[in-house]
Amino acid sequence: MLRYDSYDIVLQEIPNEISLCFTITGCQLACEGCHSEHLWDPEDGKELTFDFFERLITKYKRTITCVVFMGGEWNDSELLALISIAKKANLKVGLYTGLNEKQVKRKYPNLLTNLDYLKTGKWISDLGGLDSCKTNQVLKDLVTGKILNSYFYH
Ligand code: SF4
């Protein structure tokens, strides 16, 4: 069962979407300089049960337009089940992962075909995040193929 550290309704993660965003615990990537090492322990956080997830979707579906998972691709079958619940409520779904798109395509092809947004790229402090023009990270609208990084430049 996937576990989460926290959830919140956010505006900044996906441009033009109001997102219910879950931070999933158990990240296996161990990026050098990770700003969230507390997310590495798979036993940390609370269980993200289907029942709890469905109740949150029912509660917020008139407020939100999207659900974002920060991690969780390592349990793709469970993530796909959660994505399916969100899709039934006509919500878009995004995934933030430290993998690159090629790796996601190779390891979790079913995820790619069920997501609307994908943010890829491990954290490299010298290159910065989405607000840096030299970043290795990419936020992509998988429906249109458009790269959305420019929304984060100030
Ligand atoms: S993907 Fe994110 S949470 Fe995971 S190790 Fe890298 S920076 Fe940390």
DSSP state of 89: T
Q: Do the beta carbons of residue 80 and residue 114 sit within 8 Å? A: yes
DSSP state of 45: S
Could you tell me if the CB of 119 is within 6 A of ligand 1?
no
**Per-residue pLDDT averaged across 125-142, rounded?**
97
- pLDDT value, residue 154: 81
Q: How far apart are CA 25 and CA 11, in angstroms?
A: 22
Share of the chain above pLDDT 90, in %: 97
Structural domain boundaries enclosing 135: 3-152
- DSSP result, 95-133: EE-SS-HHHHHHH-HHHHHH-SEEEE----TTT-STTST
Q: How far is the CA of 12 from the centre of ligand 1 (A)?
A: 18
**Per-residue pLDDT averaged across 20-33, rounded?**
94
- In three-state secondary structure terms, 70 is strand
**Per-residue pLDDT averaged across 43-67, rounded?**
97
Could you tell me if the CB of 70 is within 6 A of ligand 1?
no
Q: How far is the CA of 132 from the centre of ligand 1 (A)?
A: 17
Name the average pLDDT for the chain: 97
- Report the half-sphere exposure of 115 (CA within 13 A, side-chain side): 28
> Which residue owns the Cα nearest ligand 1 atom 1?
98
- pLDDT value, residue 142: 98
Could you tell me if the CB of 123 is within 6 A of ligand 1?
yes
Could you tell me if the CB of 9 is within 6 A of ligand 1?
no
The answer on pLDDT for 76 being more than 90 is yes
**Per-residue pLDDT averaged across 38-59, rounded?**
97
Structure confidence by residue, pLDDT tens digits, 92-117: 999 999 999 999 999 999 999 999 99
pTM: 0.97
- Where is 46: in which H helix or E strand? strand 46-47
Residue type, 24: I
**CATH number of the domain within which 41 lies:** 3.20.20.70
Q: How far is the CA of 72 from the centre of ligand 1 (A)?
A: 11
Could you give the number of structural domains in the chain? 1
Could you tell me if the CB of 147 is within 6 A of ligand 1?
no
**Residues contacting 127, CB < 8 A, separation 6+:** 134, 135, 136, 137
The answer on pLDDT for 131 being more than 90 is yes
